[in-house]
A and B are shown apart, each in its own frame.
Chain A
Amino acid sequence: MMNHVLLIDDDIDLIEMMKEYLEKDGFIVTTAHDGEKGIQEALSKRHAIIILDIMMPKLDGLFVLKRIRHSSNIPVLMLTAKGDDTDRIIGLELGADDYVTKPCTPRELSARIRAILRRAQSPVNIEDNATITAGHLSLCPGQRYAELKGKPLTLTSTEFNLLELLIKHAGHPVSKRILSEEGLGRPLARFDRNIDVHLSNLRQKLGNIANDRSYIQNVYRQGYQLLLE
């Protein structure tokens, strides 16, 4: 379960080779060659992470992602074509945790999978088990549980990580570099819009505070800040 990877891609040769590589690297790999089977597998809750190819001929990867997100917050890593920014942004908006451009080296993929899993399954220690609160928001990193005004929030693991960072620094801006490195586990690239897309999703899930302002504010040149109520 901890390192069970689901690979969804229509290129059978490629996926078999990936599987071979990842298994040697210490993962347990299940494969699915089309979206239909991919969704079935994904919803079986046996996996720790899903690698999803966006460019699939039969059932579009974005559609598969939507279906998975409908009932699960499992980390999803997208494989997108280089230069296809639209698909990537839509994927992130639909709740994918990260993306890797194809073609990619298996080493890169493996490293990215590890990064996401590490963040999603960060070891529970006493400090993390405590509940952090800011206004109506409360977060329990140990249980990966978040609630707003007493109602549980449904967050993807990336969104949870970002919210955790913001709440720890509530009232102060957190730079995009820190958000990227600590929240996404990757260095901030130039023109990288990932953080913005994830935070925009998070904003929508949190809604507004009293005077119609969003919980999360973009501070010019300094990053993002969680407002204190």
Chain B
Amino acid sequence: MMGRLFWKFFFFILLAQLMVTLTIGISFWIKNHQNDYPHPFPPAFGMHEDMVINAAASTLQYGGIDAFKSLLNADPHYANIYVIDEQDNDILGRHVDPAWTKYIHQHKQQSLPWEIKSVTLDHHPYFVFNTRPDFHRPPPDFMGGDAPPNMPPPEGPVFHLVPIVAAVIASLLFAAILAWYFSKPIQHLRTAFKAIASGNFNPKTTQIMGKRSDELADLSHDVDNMAQQISTLIDGQQRLLHDVSHELRSPLARMQVLIGLARQQPEKATALFERIEHESFRMDELIDELLTLSRLEAGVKHPLTEETDIGDLLTEIIDDARLEAEVKHCQIDWQGEMNIPVICNPEMMYRAIENVVRNAVKHTKDNTTVTIESILDQEKKQLHLNVTDCGSGVPNNALEAIFKPFYRVPNAANRTEGYGIGLAIAQQVIKTYGGQIKAVNRPEGGLCVSIVLPVVI
């Protein structure tokens, strides 16, 4: 089915083509008539025939036969001028075609056509005429004289109709092709958008466009990319939702069992209520972290951005984490630059670095040291912050995945508390302030998380 767009294109293109055809036609017509009007007779050797015949007639009338003879001899323009007397003989004795005389005698009763002049010399009538090759077919009589009887019928509008019809058909054809050329891909795009709207995120418009390469092909390419992007985003959200409900269900399941236990053993109720409370706090915490993450992922920049000393933050974080480390008899060792000014929101940055440091403390083995290294790159104005633990590391194929929400390394030796959102939050914060975060396994064992952040020096 051809859409409205097709018809709009079609009619506009057709209109334009018809206008052009019409304009060109009119201009040609005007040009032809301009040529026609002042001198409708074709020039003979550079002179117009009506002038030649008039001049010859005047010479004969006022100069006499001798003057006419010398004119003919002197000027080749007059070579075709014949003068016949009453006996139909040329006064110069040239051969006279009987057809000419017949033509003249046919007309001399009436008014003579322009090409025959009658001259009376010494009371004898003479006829002056020009024996052009088409003497019998003079140009159309525009001076009001009669047309010669053997004149062919005038070229009617039938002959002009053929090129006009051809032009219109050609216009129609080209208008249709052009309109189709534009409206077809737009139809495809529309179908693609409909498909996307109904949940098919792989419309493959680029394939339909084929080898076309123009703005419309680019557009379809962009549509494909967009669909892909949306699909990835939705998949991510879906997975996140699934993980969130699962994570929320775990504390809920525990709470239900705790309540069941409290019913079964009322004497233990107080202790059980405390655990129920603990579970509800965990749920609250999880929701809080999720909201933070979703805000960060949505790209909402925290308004309170200021010059923050990462050194100060690190001092606080390490003090906090030390308690946890001491339980495992672990050390936290910090070396390097202490004064590191970075433009960021201090609270968010604190959370990001804290998550990385606590993660390291959590996963390092007992009686080992977590090493924090801060190096300032003066040239590139960057901070390199490396947090290294002495744990078992993560499988190489999971090095990127650990920054995804709820990702848990399969077969992790120790099931630790937490939801697996910490590193995802850290990554989002670092990204927000123009930095990068990545994890590498150290050859000697353990994981090294390195953060690169732009600093103000």
Mask: chain A, 1-38; 1 = CB below 8 Å from B; 0 = not: 00000000011111001101100110000000000000
| A57-B410, A58-B410, A103-B256 as given contacts; A14 in contact with B261, CB under 8 Å | no
**B250 / chain A contacts, CB cutoff of 8 Å:** 11, 14
Count of chain A residues near B, Cβ 8 A: 21
B397 interfacial by beta-carbon distance below 8 Å: no
Return the chain B residue nearest A18 by Cβ. Answer: B257
Do B254 and A13 have beta carbons less than 8 Å apart? yes
Is B264 close to A, CB under 8 A?
Answer: yes
Which residues does chain A contribute within 8 Å of B408, judged by CB atoms?
A: 57
Asked whether B260 lies within 8 Å of A107 as measured between CB atoms, the reply is yes
Q: Which of A17, A20, A57 contacts B254 (CB 8 A)?
A: A17
- The answer to whether B252 touches A103, judged by C-beta atoms less than 8 angstroms apart, is yes
A12 to B254, CA, bound (A): 10
Q: Which residues of B contact A12 (CB under 8 A)?
A: 415
Q: How far is the CB of A27 from chain B (nearest CB, A)?
A: 13
A39 on the B face (CB < 8 A): no
Judge whether A55 and B246 touch: CB under 8 Å.
yes
Q: Given A24-B265, A58-B410, A14 and B260 touching (CB < 8 A)?
A: no
Contact of A81 among B249, B258, B263, B415 (CB under 8 A): B249
The answer to whether the Cβ of B87 comes within 8 Å of any Cβ in the partner chain is: no
Alpha-carbon separation in the docked complex, A103 to B265 (Å): 20
* B-side interface size class: 20 to 34
For B264, the chain A residues whose CB sits under 8 A away are 21, 24-25, 106
- Is B261 within 8 A of A20, CB to CB? yes
Does B151 sit at the interface, judged by CB under 8 A? no
B170 within 8 A of A: no
Q: Do A106 and B246 touch (CB < 8 A)? A: no
CB-CB under 8 A from B246, the residues of chain A are: 55, 81
Q: Which residues of A contact B265 (CB under 8 A)?
A: 24
With a CB–CB cut-off of 8 A, which chain B residues contact A58?
A: 410-411
* A25 vs B249: C-alpha distance when bound (angstroms): 24
A103 touches B253 (CB 8 A): yes
| Chain A neighbourhood of B244, CB < 8 A | none
Task: For A79, give the chain B residue with the smallest CB separation.
Answer: B253
B259 contacts A14, C-beta separation under 8 Å: no
Sampled A-B contacts (6; CB under 8 Å):
A10-B415, A21-B260, A55-B246, A58-B410, A58-B411, A106-B257
B contact residues vs A (CB 8 Å cutoff)? 245-246, 249-250, 252-261, 263-265, 408, 410-411, 415
- Give 14 new A-B contacts, CB below 8 A, not counting A17-B257, A21-B260: A11-B250, A11-B254, A12-B415, A17-B258, A17-B261, A55-B246, A58-B410, A58-B411, A81-B246, A103-B252, A104-B253, A105-B256, A105-B260, A106-B261
* Nearest 5 pairs of A and B residues by beta carbon: A106-B260, A103-B253, A17-B257, A103-B252, A103-B256
